[in-house]
Structure formats: structure tokens, C-alpha cells
Structure 1
């Protein structure tokens, strides 16, 4: 088992497919800001599905969310910490959801990335409460889903403001 302040290893990453995905294909092994690196991994993954219909995108993201509960649960158990910072599948899936509702221009993707990271780190109400009360794989995935919803809301407000100018 690994404690909250130690880092997952390459050996753990390749020991089980769930760990490989939960640790973001290795991005979660970053010593600093693994959540940011995980979020970055979500950008090209979303690019792979960005031409699909909204329904298809949301279906794929929902499936990634649901399997993410298992990935994060299993990896959290292996690490001995439910929501270890190296577990970044939640960031990957959440940024994909945010990008689903983001204008397909690099400037908007940058704002999407920054706003999601802001809410994921800040954890305003009720994200912090959810993070504290819901444990295991579902808790890991759920707080990032809420951060994604906050980011989407802010992006839509900003989009509306820019169309009014």
C-alpha cells in the first residue's frame, strides 16, 4: 500500500489495466500536479470523439465515467487512499465532458481547461461536501463531474456574454 503523500509507481501502473487507466496512462505518476497532467490527457482523447454526434459523445463519456468508478475504486484500494492525487481518470473524463459543450476553438479549449482546473482544485459548494461524504470510486468520479458542470455553466455564460457584445 502507498500512503497519501507517496507516489504510485510504474510497477503499479502496469500491474493491472484498471491502474493503467486510473493513473491516466502514466500521467498520474507526475510528482507535481498530476491532476493537471491528467486533464491534459483528456484533450487529445476528446479530439478523437469530437466529430461524433452529441448523443454519441455523451454516451461514450457516460460509459467512461461508469468504468471509471471501477478503475478508481480498484486503484484507490491498491494505493490505500480512496482519492489519491495520482488517480486522474476522473479529470480525463470530466474535461471530455466540458469540451463536449465548448466551442471548438483553441481559445475556448484553453478557457475550458483553466475553468475546470479552477473548480476541481477550489471545490466550491457542494463539490467539497460531496468529496468529503461520498467515498470510493463513485466519490472520486463524482466531485470532478460537479467541477465539470460548474465549468460548463461558466463557459456558457461567457459564450452568451461574448455573443452580446
Structure 2
């Protein structure tokens, strides 16, 4: 039995990206945009602390997304965007500071999340539950992180 989305429910509120996933069009893009202010807070952490918060947020996300999907009776409701938050934060791991890199990270993450090259597409199709909701965005974030770090390296060279 499915239940309606309730932003008063803290699990749904977080899974829906503080409400950003309720955007009528492109909820993943709006979810990623909503992750930026939180990234700005996280960016002041040391690299080990940032990585720890990212791991904890991702583990929490597996449960949040899985619980919300089960509540709604839909495997991966488009409005569930906590996975976009974590994928974007992974993209921004060790990113240089500044708005240029925030935008580059945003564009790269959205491209990989939408394009879904292998194995993102495989994970998206075959991994069930909260893990399935999270893992494709984390892989997209990892791809975007690698590309961004190559760009940073080339620009510094």
C-alpha cells in the first residue's frame, strides 16, 4: 500500500531534497541546485571530514530513498533527489574553491546523471531498493569527479 508524499515526514523531506524534488519539471536538476548551498557549508570542512560526511550522507541516503520509495510504492520516484545531493557532493570532493568549479561540477554531474554511460545505466536498471536509487548517482558523481580533476590538472599544467 502506498502513502502520499508528506514533507512533514522527515524521511520524505530529506529524500525529496528539502522539497526541491517536487519541482514539476527536471526535479533532478532542481535537486542538484538545492545541494549547492549545503555544499558551500561542507566545503569548509577538511578533506577527511568532508569525505566522512559524504559517506554518512550516502549511507543515510540508501535508507531514506529506499524507505520513501517503498512508502510511495514506486521504485525510483523522480522527486527522490537525495541521491543527486550525494552525487553532486561526490563530484565536488577536493574541488578547487570558487563559483567556476561549482558550476563545472554541476554541469558535469548533470551530464553523467542524465547520459548514464556504462555502468551507471546497468546499476540504474538492475540494483534494487535504496541502494539502486543511490548507486547510479554516486557512480555519475565519481565520473564527474574524475573528469573535473583532469580539467583542474590540465589547467594547472
Same fold (TM over 0.5): yes
How does the TM-score come out when normalised to structure 2?
A: 0.94
Structure-2 residue corresponding to 1:149:
142
Segments of 5+ residues of structure 1 without an aligned counterpart are 3-7
Q: Could you say what the CA RMSD is over the residues aligned between the two structures, in angstroms?
A: 1.3
Segments of 5+ residues of structure 2 without an aligned counterpart are none
Within-5 A mapping of 1:116-155: 116-155=109-148
Quote the offset at 1:71 in angstroms: 0.6
For 2:127 and 2:86, locate their aligned partners in 1 and report how far apart those are by CA, in whole Å: 18
Quote the offset at 1:101 in angstroms: 2.4
Structure-1 residue corresponding to 2:29:
36
Which secondary structure state, in structure 2, belongs to the residue aligned with residue 102 of structure 1? coil
Which secondary structure state, in structure 1, belongs to the residue aligned with residue 95 of structure 2? coil
Structure 1 consecutive aligned stretches of length 4 or more whose deviation exceeds 3 Å: none
Which secondary structure state, in structure 2, belongs to the residue aligned with residue 100 of structure 1? coil
Determine which of 7, 14, 27 is the counterpart of 1:21: 14
For 2:62 and 2:82, locate their aligned partners in 1 and report how far apart those are by CA, in whole Å: 9
How does the TM-score come out when normalised to structure 1?
A: 0.90
Cα deviation, 1:3-28, whole Å, max 9, x if unaligned, reads: xxxxx75xx222x2110100011101
Quote the offset at 1:100 in angstroms: 2.0
- The 8 Å contact of residues 14 and 64 in structure 2, kept in 1 or not, is answered as yes
Quote the offset at 1:97 in angstroms: 1.7
Structure-2 residue corresponding to 1:103:
96
Which secondary structure state, in structure 2, belongs to the residue aligned with residue 32 of structure 1? coil
Structure-1 residue corresponding to 2:61:
68
- The 8 Å contact of residues 93 and 145 in structure 2, kept in 1 or not, is answered as no
Cα deviation, 1:16-56, whole Å, max 9, x if unaligned, reads: 21101000111011110110111011111111121111000
